[in-house]
Structure 1
Amino acid sequence: MNANEPNEPTPAETPDVEGAYPRLTDAQIAVFESCGKRRRVAAGDLLFREGEPTDGFFVVLSGLVGIVEGYGADDERVVSVHGPGRFLGELGLLEGQVTFLTAVVLEAGEMLEVRRGELAKTLSREPEVGDLILRAYLNRRALLLGQGTGFRIIGSEHSPDTRRLLAFAARNRLPHHWIDPEREPRAEALLRGVGVSVEQTPVVLWGRANVLRNPSNAQLAEAIGLRSPTPRAVGDLLIVGAGPAGLAAAVYGASEGLRPTVLDQTATGGQAGTSSRIENYLGFPAGISGEQLAERAVIQAIRFGARVNVPAAALALEPREDGHYAVRLDDGGEITARAVVVATGARYRRLEVPGARAFEGLGIHYAATAWEARQCGSDQAMVVGGGNSAGQAAVFLARTAGRVFLVVRGDELGKDMSRYLVDRVEADRRIEVLLRHEVRAVTGERELEAAVVEDRRTGSTRTIPVAALFVFIGARPGTEWAAGVLALDGHGAVLTGRDAEAAACAAPERWRHLDRAPMVLETSYPGVFAVGDARSGSIKRVASAVGEGAMSIRLVHEYLREVGAPASAA
């Protein structure tokens, strides 16, 4: 975009779309005047650039600003245009990520620039303005994800590394666009322009300058700002797992004087983050997607001072003689803290039938978000499982898929699925429920084409053409990293409270200085707590996970007082 070209018509301002581009009132602009600085800008000036960090929140006082994808490239595209009263940026600004698009001044004018730290203080002090900006930023992120805007992943769909990068971007709700060299003619020219051959893909591109050659998930996360150098010691509290329980612990811990660090090996949100819509969560009568719930929680936690690092996988838990605990990480580092909250949740079991492993990411999915739904398109889909996750997925996919087959091993839907979901599934004519059925095999050439299901009553089989198969067949606790240290039940979940007393009594030296048994969420080691799906006996609901995460902070404070380590000042 050449903003200085006199004969080039100026684009019209983009209409407000679903609250994504609201206009601030004079009173709301005045809120930022006290902490911001006015800045004159000329046509062609760049306010921020894609792939680069920014610390500035901009309010347009006069002039016109274009938000551009691929700035300076042959295929650059204007995504939106904003005039006086509009503010710039999107969710990444609040989360400390780099920008996914470029802001270029189209018409000279004046901007009000607020630094990110001052913005956070202002949003906390002015909740009405904070709600407006948060809603707009959430909607902007949703628009970017729906439009396939953001950094570009160039690679074959048959490459495991391409599939890995796509899955990581989707799970972390990162705006991106996938270009398959085997399907899109322009891919070769794009690669040639950055000096990369097709054989060297996959690559991640931001504009023309930023090129990541087959990055690991951690390298991509560091480039985006999802992950920062992890400190060796975090002081009071380390939270392992960033699902609803872990994020709740982070929000309440950070808001009550602790400075927690949160780690997750894949993405924030946990299993809940893969849910298309959670409809029985208190306070959201119209439901909320798992992605939105996770985004809101992350922003809350960061705003209160928590540190969130993704991806960072815990490999082992090690008690130290000085009363601290060390968690060894997959990158070779370790973190020590006085207290640890184990919130590693559970992972869906894989579909173990002939052909399944070859099609994971090429038609077989363990989540049902908007990204996976786009891969399915309007073709037939199959969902395997009888719980709430399967029911939510079936209802969500039925909006766009030609037909959805829900394969349930049991005799009835109501055994493991909430009644409201059973009613919705049974009322949707696009969903065909196959009770007492199991998937026995999957088939296809280069991608999934069909699934073979067996009727458990008769033993007869049926081959059903499907473009995508979504698997929700139970889960196992994500506690392997703590096995051999913490006491686990027969399913691998962490024992807490009374259930952990026997293991605590077997090692009285750990507890002698406290003269008590484990508290309700405390494990067989004092100062280590378990919450959510990782905990034995937990109720598998988002609300209970959030409650346990919040409750664990009260217990962490009690423990820190007992050992003479009062929480850091907020």
Structure 2
Amino acid sequence: MTAPDGPRGRSRLTETPDRRGAFPRLAQEQLDVLAEHGERRRVEAGEVLFREGERCEEFIVLLSCVVEIVHDLGDVEQRTVAVHGPGRFLGELGLLEGEAAFNTAIVSEPGEVLAVPWEEQRDLVAGDQILGDLVLRAYLGRRSLLIGVGAGFRILGSYYSPATRRLREFAARNRLPHRWIDLERDRQAEELLQRFSIRPEETPVVIWKGREVLRNPSPTDLARLAGLPAPTPDVADSDLVVVGAGPAGLASAVYGASDGLDTVIVDAIATGGQAGASSRIENYLGFPSGISGGELIERAVIQARKFGARMIVPLQAAGLERRDDHYAVRFTDGSVAEARTVVLAPGVSYRKLDAPGIARFEGTNVFYAATLHEAQQCGEDPVAVVGGGNAGGQAALFLAEYTPQVHLIVRGDDLGANMSRYLADQVDRHRGIQVLLHHEVHEALGDDVLRSVAVRDGTTGRVHEVPARALFVFIGARPHTDWLAGALVTDRSGFVLTGADAQAAADPDTWADRARSPMMLETTLPGVFAAGDVRSGSVKRVASAAGEGAMAIRLVHEHLAEEGSLVRIPTTGGRAPTGDIGDHTREPAGRHPAVGGPPQR
């Protein structure tokens, strides 16, 4: 990293070495491919190629110039974080996903660049396997580096504020580079309050580009600032609405859009679901050395957008209703998405731990996800993880990379009972992880922050304390199905019934005009399917969720083929001549269910 004195007044800059494949140099054959889609042009010293906070419209390859990457341009904290020379390319993940830039690129030494429109670059990334993998891996690495150095916008707010926690969680879940400044503890906080005339009661605030201030913004406001796709007032006449952008939902979006279906996918918080928060997935087919949840999800998001799926985050579903031959999904902002079919993949959230003191520290020291955001908060302090499943094991291993002591609290007597064997072996061998079998949390202890966790030994009844400045909880899941109450049938725990289970619980009148029962992933509503963790009886694995999401699209095609063969009674003046809305559709006698749609990939 170069000195933080900016791009001017220096005759020669040292190029930043490649780190983790984030700054590769393109081969001549790759430059030749890109040259077919872009144009060469001259750039001069001091020229700004793209600016922090603004959308970058071009993929820029350096041919004979040197470019400096700067954060907080013009601010007192301005710093240079990278220098690139000929053969390298600029940009990061936001270029592919339509987000604003999180840094500024300034020409230090004049020369030539090759500029490719970003739409064409996105097609090249999707279509050229070698070039695409090189660019995507570099962009993912750069996004991680940006997050690590605290680039992007600043969130100024109290450690104890629920509104601050919501903003930080949204930024972390969406992998948006940012830096949090604690109102109570950070020395810089007071200076920023005075510089921008911010009253403490106006916090949390988001500061970007050294001059823009959002006072007490919502996650939606923050999403718009970062350039995430804005929710449209209404979406009508689409073929498919997918609710939830975890592995199941993203797989449905990829296969639906690639099959030519007009596809909309929405999520209340961020793409990725529980998988997106996983530090490492080591048993996913095709990745023998493992892959982070964030990287897997980013690849899926790019894939879905490549095929034309419209992705809207954040947008929280509030209700589902049937309207004649299609469905309407209502959202909390008042908007509605109408589609002929729906795939439900809203996923689950981890259950809260019911023990004295837990509620007091939730959001500050008690967490239900273990990402880089939470790990960096812990620093060198010991932490505790509760949960004997895969999520608990993955969290323990991940956190052990950042803190010297992790206490894994497991109620059962066998680490391998609910955890994959390979994972249990890694946890058992790790010197930084202490596994406490037969234990459960008795109480969270501390004053303003968590200091320790009292645990009870189930075999002896003895209660003792383990030091912990943070507690991570993974003790089972609760499905995100409250908004579906009254629309379709779930099991006692709220998981959506499908297939044979749905047949037993379905209202016969709903299926009266069809000569079939609910298909494998179909719910008690024809044309509404469930996939992934939210489905009753699902396997709760990333691979199975993605498989169900893909399978749901095959069933969507079968449903649409059936709908196309049903007789429609024409209406007069927009009104049915007789009967209710539900009387518009009739099935001809003797017709069997149609099967159609393109073959599954």
TM bracket, shorter-chain basis: over 0.9
Range with greater deviation from structure 2 (479-488 or 107-116): 107-116
Structure showing greater Rg: 2
User: 2:243 is matched with which residue?
Assistant: 240
Match of 1:129 among 109, 128, 131: 131
Q: Is the 8 A contact 2:386 2:473 kept in 1?
A: yes
Residues in 2 aligned to 1:239 and 1:296: alpha-carbon distance in whole angstroms? 18
Mapping 1:315-464, distance limit 5 Å: 315-321=318-324, 323-464=325-466
User: 2:589 is matched with which residue?
Assistant: none
User: 2:568 is matched with which residue?
Assistant: none
Q: Unpaired segments of 5 or more residues in structure 1?
A: none
User: 1:534 is matched with which residue?
Assistant: 534
- The superposition leaves residues 381-432 of structure 1 with CA deviations (integer Å, 9 ceiling, x where unpaired) of 1110110111111122222322111111122212211111121122123222
User: 2:472 is matched with which residue?
Assistant: 470
**Superposed displacement of residue 237, structure 1:** 0.4
Residues in 2 aligned to 1:116 and 1:23: alpha-carbon distance in whole angstroms? 19
Residues in 2 aligned to 1:480 and 1:408: alpha-carbon distance in whole angstroms? 29
Q: TM-score, normalised by structure 1?
A: 0.95
- The superposition leaves residues 150-170 of structure 1 with CA deviations (integer Å, 9 ceiling, x where unpaired) of 211122212222222111111
1:555 aligns to 2:528 (yes or no):
no
Q: Is the 8 A contact 1:234 1:260 kept in 2?
A: no
Match of 2:172 among 170, 173, 196: 170
1:85 aligns to 2:107 (yes or no):
no
**Superposed displacement of residue 306, structure 1:** 1.1
Residues in 1 aligned to 2:127 and 2:292: alpha-carbon distance in whole angstroms? 27
User: 1:292 is matched with which residue?
Assistant: 295
1:278 aligns to 2:301 (yes or no):
no
Closer, same or farther: CA 462–267 of 1 in aligned 2, 3 Å? same
Closer, same or farther: CA 124–294 of 1 in aligned 2, 3 Å? closer
Residues in 2 aligned to 1:400 and 1:43: alpha-carbon distance in whole angstroms? 41
Residues in 1 aligned to 2:399 and 2:123: alpha-carbon distance in whole angstroms? 40
Residues in 2 aligned to 1:186 and 1:382: alpha-carbon distance in whole angstroms? 31
Which one-letter code corresponds to 1:34 in the other structure?
E
Q: Is the 8 A contact 2:96 2:118 kept in 1?
A: yes
Runs of 4+ in structure 1 deviating by more than 6 angstroms, as ranges, are 1-4, 565-568
Residues in 1 aligned to 2:300 and 2:226: alpha-carbon distance in whole angstroms? 19
Q: Is the 8 A contact 2:497 2:524 kept in 1?
A: yes
1:267 aligns to 2:263 (yes or no):
no
Match of 1:484 among 483, 486, 491: 486
Residues in 2 aligned to 1:164 and 1:178: alpha-carbon distance in whole angstroms? 12
User: 2:583 is matched with which residue?
Assistant: none
Q: TM-score, normalised by structure 2?
A: 0.90
Residues in 2 aligned to 1:411 and 1:264: alpha-carbon distance in whole angstroms? 37
Closer, same or farther: CA 210–288 of 1 in aligned 2, 3 Å? same
Corresponding pairs, count: 564
Which one-letter code corresponds to 1:346 in the other structure?
V
**Superposed displacement of residue 138, structure 1:** 0.8
User: 2:508 is matched with which residue?
Assistant: 507
- The superposition leaves residues 192-232 of structure 1 with CA deviations (integer Å, 9 ceiling, x where unpaired) of 33332344222111122322212101111122122313242
User: 1:150 is matched with which residue?
Assistant: 152
- The superposition leaves residues 54-93 of structure 1 with CA deviations (integer Å, 9 ceiling, x where unpaired) of 2211111221111110011121011111111111100011
Range with greater deviation from structure 2 (176-185 or 530-539): 176-185
Range with greater deviation from structure 2 (35-44 or 255-264): 35-44
Query: Percent of counterpart pairs with the same letter?
Result: 57
Which one-letter code corresponds to 2:254 in the other structure?
V
**Superposed displacement of residue 500, structure 1:** 0.8
**Superposed displacement of residue 234, structure 1:** 5.2
CA RMSD of aligned residues (A): 1.9
Three-state SS of the structure 1 residue aligned to 2:143 is: helix
Range with greater deviation from structure 2 (240-249 or 32-41): 32-41
Q: Unpaired segments of 5 or more residues in structure 2?
A: 566-595
Three-state SS of the structure 1 residue aligned to 2:564 is: coil
**Superposed displacement of residue 561, structure 1:** 1.5
Residues in 1 aligned to 2:458 and 2:533: alpha-carbon distance in whole angstroms? 30
Three-state SS of the structure 2 residue aligned to 1:58 is: strand
Closer, same or farther: CA 234–94 of 1 in aligned 2, 3 Å? farther
Residues in 2 aligned to 1:109 and 1:192: alpha-carbon distance in whole angstroms? 42
Closer, same or farther: CA 441–3 of 1 in aligned 2, 3 Å? closer
Closer, same or farther: CA 562–468 of 1 in aligned 2, 3 Å? same
Closer, same or farther: CA 413–178 of 1 in aligned 2, 3 Å? same
Q: Is the 8 A contact 1:394 1:431 kept in 2?
A: yes
